[in-house]
């Protein structure tokens, strides 16, 4: 069974709360790994915590939110078998799943609207990896 893990830093906390509400409304199974306030935190701690949980099962996916999406993306991609994609449009999100089999989406809370974030998450969670020639390429990562 697929599990969704979600985490943020302080800059992404407010958007994370909105995404959590969306996940609850959609009745999706998820685990919030923190933080649980807007108190300043170091984003790598939360990116590593999420990556360690996602990689326990091939079906798991993760959602990371920070101010720009970049810091979380860099930290998560340090982990073997994590393919984090920083998404900034429906198309970038869809291609991250179709072609790259991304298992973590990273979002920039200071760069995208709540409505767009929810659209990207919906696309991310509902788009399947195409495989084929893309599988050959993903295996080379």
Q: Domain span at residue 88?
A: 4-139
**CB environment 32-44: b (16+ within 10 A), e (fewer):** bbbbeeeeebebb
48 has catalytic annotation: no
Q: d(Cα 118, Cα 2) in Å, to the nearest integer?
A: 19
pLDDT in tens, the chain (141 residues): 789 999 999 999 999 999 999 999 999 999 999 999 999 999 999 999 999 999 999 999 999 999 999 999 999 999 999 999 999 999 999 999 999 999 999 999 999 999 999 999 999 999 999 888 898 888 988
Number of domains in the chain: 1
Catalytic residue among 10, 48, 79, 99: 99
Which pTM does this prediction carry? 0.96
In this structure, what CATH number is given to the domain that contains residue 16?
3.40.1400.10
């Amino acid at each position: 069974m697929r599990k969704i893990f979600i985490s943020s830093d302080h800059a992404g906390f407010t958007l994370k709360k909105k995404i959590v509400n969306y996940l609850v409304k959609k009745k999706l199974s998820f685990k919030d790994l923190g933080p649980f306030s807007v108190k300043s935190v170091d984003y790598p701690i939360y990116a590593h915590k999420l990556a360690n949980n996602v990689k326990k099962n091939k079906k798991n996916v993760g959602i990371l939110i920070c101010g720009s999406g970049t810091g979380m993306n860099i930290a998560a991609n340090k982990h073997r078998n994590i393919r984090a994609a920083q998404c900034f449009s429906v198309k970038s999100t869809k291609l991250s799943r179709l072609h790259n089999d991304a298992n973590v989406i990273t979002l920039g809370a200071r760069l995208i609207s709540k409505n767009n974030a929810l659209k990207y998450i919906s696309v991310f969670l509902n788009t399947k990896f195409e495989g084929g020639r893309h599988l050959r390429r993903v295996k080379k990562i």
